Amino acid sequence: MSKILPLINYPSDVRGLSVEQLNRLSKEIREFLISSVSKTGGHLASNLGVVELTIALHLVFNTPYDKIIWDVGHQSYVHKILTGRKGKFGTLRQLDGVSGFPKTNESSHDCFNTGHSSTSVSAALGMARARDIKNEKNSVIAVIGDGALTGGMAFEALNDAGRSPNNLIVILNDNEMSIDKNVGGLSSCLNRIRTQPIYFKVKRDLDVLLHKIPAIGKKVAKTIDKAKGTIKYLMLPGMFFEELGFKYIGPVDGHDINELKKVLTKAKGLQGPILIHVFTQKGKGYSYAEENPHIFHGISPFDVETGEIKKGISTKDYSAVFGETLVDIAGYNEDVVAITAAMPHGTGLNGFASEFPKRFFDVGIAEQHAVTLAAGLAEEGLKPVVAVYSSFLQRAYDQVVHDVCAQNLPVVFAIDRAGVVGNDGETHQGVFDLSYLSHIPNMTLMAPKDFEELRQMIKFSVDFEGPIAVRYPRGHAREICTEKYQPIEYGCAELLYQGNDITIVACGRMVHTAIKAAKELIKFGMTADVINARFVKPLDSKMILASAEKTKNVVTIEDNVINGGFGSLVLQLVNQSDLSDVKVKIFGYPDEFIQHGSIEQLDKLYGLDYQSIACEILNFFRIRKKFKVIKSQ
């Protein structure tokens, strides 16, 4: 039988197919996804779960005229395949290739950029209101997962949308999973409808009953209200949404294209806010992903036959080192409690969760709540450690300022995925944290150069009496051998190499780059003091200024945006000192969003690899010193 997928490039190609052909197409899309993502890596399990739903959406709605907003956007691969990007799909998440998330500048079929969770309903409502003001007629659809629904912003939007007259369709893609098993009260409520078939029956019976009674006369209306109030309200999870003002449709089998098509067509003709509750299975159609959806949520390249991840040089990463260290500390310090916003595995807290279940809190995708929850725990004398990705902590900026720092509460922030993270691209790059944390009064901010330093910094942080953050990158570290490990002391940097011509101060991952750049400079007769800052705030002013006074040339290196980052703090330090005639050159990311690509490629692209840095240093300081000018490679 000839394949269908080769003939499909745009939604119009899907519309003439029979149900049998659509089912075959779903199977072929799954094979295509598995094969392609096994080479590029990416969010496989979520996409395998939405194949039929995406096809049905494109059967009923007409993008880009109609707008589909994918919450988080990690599940938009099938949509990309059906909207002109199948041919380029092999470049997924690669530098200059197809993005792993919806991008308005990639296709007109992507109407809104996403990456961080729980934004879709707000954006969709905005688009629906704009449409109505402009007297246009298109449909607006938000597709949100049950995990993303745990984010407070989703509730804010539902609350607003539910009482709004604007036509809007929200599709709740319920697969019972966030990255890990979904958590929280609403999740259990949604689960009940799956596990107890009586809800289906009661709902069906009640629907039939309500349908048969003509809605005339106060008496009948009262009966209906009473029925709603007693049976439906108490027993049907959909009533949560109905009480908010949505028309609830469902539950619908999210793998039945025909059923989905019917329901979506019906919803398209209804007025006001509609919520369609769709059940899907994460990882559907690939046994390894069905069995371990959290592993195949976001996966590196893997072997299709065995489901095994193709391993790199090192399997240990910063998250694992952090997790193990916290388990050690919690073993002797009973005050330690750990909090994650839906990332127990990603942050390395899964070991802690099983060792100390009573002291572990997975709060769902709720970073703001996570931080203020930590403030409450700290206020009562416990030692909360919030493990969170740098880019997601952006969500909780005000909670860090208002609830933690303004009260000087001893909360530890273990900030994972700081710096560029690579293939997830601009929404996930952790390149702002040094800027958004360092200006907050009372905050102490550290960055380790390697695993051992991370261990020591976590121990130091847990003993510290105030808000403190340790930010560390994604992935593995190169251990930096120093003759003798110098213990962490508050506000003290570490002098790694001594020289005469230049001072290189670096933080975190970039310390390794600084050492390599310094070694490169020796070839040109330039010797450097290499300082591992350890503390971004407070800076070791004594060490940095003493070195600056000697060399007169200071270079800073960070994996953060230059604006308001580590280099700015060093520049400010020099500026406020008595030193004159000291030149400062800052290396970091420019004032732009950093696209997807491997970390090595991005380093090179932004001149943050050691060769580019050495070359720039030589050119920058050439007038002041006798060194040769070299051309960038």
Ligand X SMILES: Cc1ncc(C[n+]2csc(CCOP(=O)(O)OP(=O)(O)O)c2C)c(N)n1
H or E, element range at 146: none
Distance CA 240, CA 288 (A): 34
By CB under 6 A, which span of 68-76, 184-192, 260-268, 440-448 interacts with ligand X?
68-76
Q: How far is CA 36 from the centre of its chain?
A: 22
Is residue 417 close enough to count as binding ligand X by CB under 6 A? no
> How far is the C-alpha of 413 from the C-alpha of 461, rounded, in Å?
9
Q: Which two tokens stand for residue 328?
A: 């050690």
Residues binding ligand X: what is the number (CB under 6 A)? 25
Nearest-approach distance from CB 156 to ligand X, in angstroms? 14
Q: Which lies closer to ligand X via its Cβ, residue 239 or residue 365?
A: 365
Binding window for ligand X (CB under 6 A); candidates: 1-9, 72-80, 122-130, 244-252: 72-80
User: Judged by CB, which is closer to ligand X: 56, or 343?
Assistant: 343
Question: Measured from the CB of residue 72, what is the shortest distance to ligand X in angstroms?
Answer: 5
Return the residue of 282, 359, 369, 585 that touches ligand X, per CB under 6 A.
Answer: 282
Distances (CA, A) of 426 to 95, 421, 431: 12, 9, 9
Residue 264 CB, nearest distance to ligand X (Å)? 18
Phi and psi torsions of 348, nearest 5°: 85, 15
Rounded to the nearest whole angstrom, what is the least distance from the CB of residue 283 to ligand X in the complex?
10
Cβ neighbours, 10 Å, residue 312: 11
Site for ligand X in 302-361 (CB under 6 A): 341-343
Q: Which two tokens stand for residue 118?
A: 């729980």
| Residue 391, CA distances (Å) to 117, 367, 388 in order | 11, 11, 8
Q: How far is the CB of 146 from ligand X (least distance, A)?
A: 5
Q: HEC states along 152-171?
A: HHHHHHHHHHHCCCCCEEEE
Say how many C-beta atoms besides its own lie within 10 A of residue 186's C-beta: 17
Quick note: the x/- pattern for ligand X over 428-467, rule CB under 6 A, is ----------------------------------------
Binding to ligand X (CB under 6 A) within 532-561 occurs at none
Stretch that binds ligand X, among 177-185, 400-408, 498-506, 595-603 (CB under 6 A): 177-185
Q: Does 184 bind ligand X (CB under 6 A)?
A: no
User: Using the rule CB under 6 A, which residue among 55, 172, 177, 496 binds ligand X?
Assistant: 177
Among 111, 179, 396, 543, binds ligand X (CB under 6 A): 179
3-class secondary structure, 443: coil
Please, what is the minimum distance in Å from the beta carbon of residue 346 to ligand X?
Answer: 7
Nearer CB in complex with ligand X: 171/341: 341
Q: Are 136 and 157 spatial neighbours (Cβ–Cβ below 8 Å)?
A: no
Residue 73 beta carbon to ligand X: minimum distance, rounded to whole angstroms: 8
User: Based on CB atoms, which residue is closest to ligand X, 142 or 518?
Assistant: 142
d(CA 111, CA 114) in angstroms, rounded, equals: 10
User: For the chain, first and last CA: distance in Å?
Assistant: 53
- In this structure, the strands spanning 528-532 and 494-497 are antiparallel
Q: Is the peptide bond before 293 cis (omega within 30 degrees of 0)?
A: no
| 253 burial level (CB within 10 Å; 0-12, 13-18, 19+) | middle
Q: Between residues 345 and 478, which has the closer beta carbon with respect to ligand X?
A: 345
Q: Does 148 bind ligand X (CB under 6 A)?
A: yes
C-alpha dihedral sign at 320, 321, 324, 325: negative
Residue type, 483: E
Catalytic positions, please?
282, 367, 395
Count Cβ atoms below 10 Å from residue 536 Cβ, excluding itself.
25
Give the nearer residue to ligand X in terms of CB position, either 182 or 553: 182
H runs (alpha helix) in 424-528:
433-438, 451-463, 510-522
d(CA 316, CA 351): 14
In this chain, which stretch among 146-154, 156-164, 232-240, 376-384 interacts with ligand X, using CB under 6 A? 146-154
- Per CB under 6 A, the list member of 40, 178, 390, 429 interacting with ligand X is 178
The answer to whether 310 and 301 are in contact (CB under 8 A) is yes
Regarding 365 and contact with ligand X (CB under 6 A), the answer is: yes
Indicate which single residue of 75, 167, 347, 513 sits in contact with ligand X (rule: CB under 6 A).
Answer: 75
Type of residue found at 517: A
Q: Which CB, 184 or 419, lies closer to ligand X?
A: 184
What is the per-residue binding string for ligand X in 7-46, x denoting contact by CB under 6 A? ---------------------------------------x
List residues bridging with 416 in a β-sheet: 389
Smallest distance, ligand X to C-beta of residue 563, A:
23
Q: Report the run of H or E that residue 333 belongs to, with start and end.
A: none
> Which residue, 441, 440, 477, 439, is CA-closest to 457?
477
Which one of residues 30, 74, 85, 449 is an interface residue with ligand X (CB under 6 A)?
74
Rounded to a whole number of angstroms, the minimum distance from the CB of residue 217 to ligand X is: 43
Binding mask 91-120 for ligand X (x = CB under 6 A): -------------------------xx---
Q: Using CB under 6 A, which of 97, 145, 419, 422 touches ligand X? A: 145
Question: Which of 97, 147, 254, 567 is the binder for ligand X (CB under 6 A)?
Answer: 147
Phi, psi of 561 (to 5 degrees): -65, 150
d(CA 633, CA 616): 11
Q: Does 72 bind ligand X (CB under 6 A)?
A: yes
Tokens of 441: 């009064």
- For residue 64, the minimal CB distance to ligand X (Å) is 23
Site for ligand X in 367-386 (CB under 6 A): 367
Q: Return the amino acid letter for 328.
A: D
Does the footprint of ligand X cover residue 395 (CB under 6 A)? yes
Q: Which is nearer to ligand X, 367 or 453 (CB)?
A: 367
| 301: β partners | none
Q: Does 123 bind ligand X (CB under 6 A)?
A: no
The CA-atom distances, in angstroms, between 252 and each of 171, 175, 200, 577 are: 10, 12, 11, 67
Q: What is the largest CA-CA distance in the chain?
A: 97
Nearer to ligand X (CB atom), residue 40 or residue 568? 40
Positions that interact with ligand X (CB under 6 A): 46, 49, 72, 74-75, 116-117, 145-148, 173, 175, 177-179, 282, 297, 341-343, 365, 367, 392, 395
